[in-house]
Amino acid sequence: MLIDRQEVMRMARLARLELSDREIDQYQKDLTSFLSSGQKLQQVDVSAVEGTSHAVAMTHELRKDAVGESLPQAEILSAAPEAMDGFFKVPRIVEEQE
Amino acid sequence: MRRLAHLLETRQISSTEVVEHYLAEISKQEPVLNAFITVDAEGALAQAKASDRRRREGQALSPWDGIPIAVKDNISTKGLKTTCASRFLANYVPLFDAEVVSRLKDVGLSIIGKTNLDEFAMGSSTEYSAYGVTCNPHDHERVSGGSSGGSAAAVAAGEVPWSLGTDTGGSIRQPASFCGVVGLKPTYGWVSRYGVVALAPSLDHVGPLARTVEDAALLFSLIAGPDPKDATSSDAREFSIPDWDESFVKGLKIGVPEEFFGEGISPEVEGAVRDCLNALEGWGAELVPISLATNEYAIDTYLTLVTAEASSSLARYDGVRYGVRIPAEDSNTMFARSRSAGFGAEVKRRIMLGTYVLSARQYGAYYEQAQKVRTLIRQDVLEAFKQVDVIITPTTPSTAFRIGAKQSPLEMYLSDLFTAMANLCGIPALNVPCGRDSRGLPLGMQIMGGHFQEELLFRVARLVENHVGVEGEVFSDKL
C-alpha cells in the first residue's frame, strides 16, 4: 500500500471526518489505487510551464468598496441548527477562567 | 420552444395548461424515473396563473413567459429546498436565487422542480445521490448518467421542456448523451455561478439541456452574460441565437482527434459519429485528422484538481450556519460528526483524496504537478484550434451502462474520459444526439470549440440534428 492507515487517519483528522474502521480500510485502498493510477502524471515533463489555475485568461477588476443590500440577520440565523442572541451557537471553544 | 411560445402568445394554450401537462407527465413517470428530488406543483401553478394574467393584460415579460423549467438541485432557488442530493442539506432552503434562476424568473419562466444528481455533483450516474438513482428513460435498468442525470432524464422523458445542469468534468454532456438530449457546457465565465453550490470552482460550469439545438441555444441566451456577483464572469458578454444560415459549413475545418476513436470505443458509438462526420463533409466541411495526445493525462489531472478543490469547497459544511448538526462537547468533534453523518461515501472519498493531494508533503507532487499538466493540455488544445474551427469526438466511449455495473470508483471516473478536457481548458463543448444503438439507446456526439465559440457549436449541432432528426414533439396536436 502506498499509504498506511496512520496517514489515512491523519487526513480524516485534517478534513474533520470521523471514519469507522471499515471506512479507513476502504479509503486506504481507494487512495492507494488513485495514487498508483496517477503515477503517470508524475512522469510528465512540466519544467517549461507554469501552473494553470484559471482556464480562460482574464484580468480581475477591482470593484468599488460600496455597501450593498444584504439579507436580514434574523433570516440568515433561521437556517442555523442553533442560534442565540443574534449569533450562531457552537460548543464552547474558550474555557472560562477559574 | 418557438412554437410553444407562439401558442402562448396567440392564446391557443395557457401557461396553466402547459404546466398542468408537464405536472401530469411528472406524476405519471416519477414513480419509476426519479428524475426529481423536489416537485413544486403549487409554486409552478401559481407562477403559471400569474403568467396567464400578465398575458391577458398584455404585460408578458418575454416570449417565453409561462414556460416551465427544471433546475438541478445544486442551484439555489429562493424558498425552494436545495439539497445537492445530500443528507447534509436535506432541509436546506436557500434565502436567495442563483443568478441563473433570477434570470429565468425575470423572463417569466416557472421553476417546476429540482432535479436529481450525484451528491454535490460528484459522480457520473446519479447512483451517488442520497435520494436514489435516476433511471434512463430509454431503459429503466440503465443509468441516466451524471451528475446532471435528473436534468437530462426529465427532458428526455418529456417531464419538462428544458432544464439547467452543471458540468465540472462532463456532468451535462455525458447524461445528455446517455438520455439523447442536447446539452452545452459553455465557455468558462460566460454563465454566472453565483448561487450555484461549488464543487470545484476552476472547473464548474452551468449550462442548458433541451430537446433541440435551438431550444438549448435559446436557454443559453437567457442565462449567459456578465454578473458582478461572479468575479470569473467579468469578460462575459450577451449571447444571441444564430440565424441558422447553413452556408458556413463550406470550408469549415473539423478536427478529428485520433485519440478519441478506435480502441476502447463502442463500434456503434464510433459508427454514428463517423456517419455524421461524413454528412458534414458531404455538405462541404473539411475533416482534418489531428492529435490531442495530452488527453491521456486529462482524467488524472482532472481528478487531482477536482478532489483538491472539492475538499476545500466542502469545508463550509460544518453544522454551524445551516445543514446537519450532530451535537458534541467540543467544536471539532461536532464538525467531524456532523460532516460524517451528512456526507455519503463518494463525497468522503473525494474529500480524503483532495486533502491528501493538498497536504503540505504532497502538494508539489500532486496538486502543483496537475496544475502544470493542465497548462500542457490547454496548450495542446489551443494549438489544435489554430488549425481547425471545431473538434468533434464521441461524447462517451459507450452508451448508458446498467445500474450497478461500475463497481470501482476509478471505473466510474473513466466515464469522463472524453469530456474532462473541455473543463480543464474552459472551452465550450456540446452534446448532440446522433442516433440510437441496436438496443435503442441514444448515441451522442461532442462538438468542442475555442473560447466563446458557442454560436459555431450550435450551428454545427443544428446540421447534425437535421441529419439524424428530433424525436418527441410535445403539443403536436395543437401545432
pLDDT digits (tens, 9 = 90+) for B213-226: 999 999 999 999 99
Q: Which pLDDT value is given to residue B233?
A: 84
* Residue A64 lies inside a defined structural domain of this protein: no
pLDDT digits (tens, 9 = 90+) for B236-246: 788 999 999 99
Residue with cell 476513436: B261
* Residue A31 lies inside a defined structural domain of this protein: yes
Distances (CA, A) of B109 to B36, B51, B105, B137, B222: 18, 9, 5, 25, 10
Chain B residues 69-88 with a CB less than 8 Å from chain A: none
Residue ranges and CATH numbers for the domains of chain B are 2-249+454-478 (3.90.1300.10), 296-371 (no CATH)
* Residue A74 lies inside a defined structural domain of this protein: no
Which residues of B are designated catalytic?
A: 72, 147, 171
Chain B CB contacts of A52 below 8 Å: 371-372, 374-375, 378, 424
> Binning pLDDT at 50, 70 and 90, where does residue A38 land?
confident
Question: Is the per-residue pLDDT at B473 higher than 70?
Answer: no
**Average pLDDT, integer, range B408-417:** 86
Q: How many interface pairs between A and B have CB atoms less than 8 angstroms apart?
A: 168
* Residue A14 lies inside a defined structural domain of this protein: yes
Strand, coil or helix: what is B404? coil
Whole-prediction pTM: 0.96
Q: Which pLDDT value is given to residue B479?
A: 47
Q: Which of A34, A43, A35 is nearest to B376 (CA)?
A: A43
Contact A80 B320 (CB under 8 A): yes
* Residue A25 lies inside a defined structural domain of this protein: yes
Q: Which pLDDT value is given to residue B476?
A: 57
d(C-alpha B362, C-alpha B21), whole Å: 55
Chain A CB contacts of B366 below 8 Å: 38, 41
Residue with cell 480500510: A25
Q: pLDDT: is B262 or B319 the higher one?
A: B319
Q: Is residue B74 within 8 Å of residue B82, measured between CB atoms?
A: yes
**Average pLDDT, integer, range B303-307:** 96
**Average pLDDT, integer, range B407-419:** 87
Identify the domain containing residue A31 by its residue range: 5-41
Chain A CB contacts of B329 below 8 Å: 91
- The DSSP secondary structure of chain A, one letter per residue, reads --S-HHHHHHHHHHTT----HHHHHHHHHHHHHHHHHTHHHHTS--TT----S-SS--PPPPPP--------HHHHHHTSSSEETTEE--S--SPPP-
ipTM above 0.85, yes or no: yes
Contact A79 B187 (CB under 8 A): no
pLDDT digits (tens, 9 = 90+) for B113-148: 999 999 999 999 999 999 999 999 999 999 999 999
Contact A90 B93 (CB under 8 A): no
Chain B CB contacts of A26 below 8 Å: 345
Chain B residues 210-229 with a CB less than 8 Å from chain A: 228
**Mean pLDDT score across all residues of chain B:** 95
* Residue A16 lies inside a defined structural domain of this protein: yes
> Binning pLDDT at 50, 70 and 90, where does residue B174 land?
very high
Tally of domains in chain A: 1
* Residue A49 lies inside a defined structural domain of this protein: no
Distances (CA, A) of A34 to B22, B105, B300, B313, B396: 43, 43, 9, 21, 22
Q: pLDDT: is A93 or B460 the higher one?
A: B460
Distance from CA of B349 to the nearest CA of A (A): 6
Chain A residues 1-40 with a CB less than 8 Å from chain B: 3, 7-8, 11-12, 14-19, 23, 26-27, 30-31, 33-35, 37-38, 40
Q: Which pLDDT value is given to residue B326?
A: 95
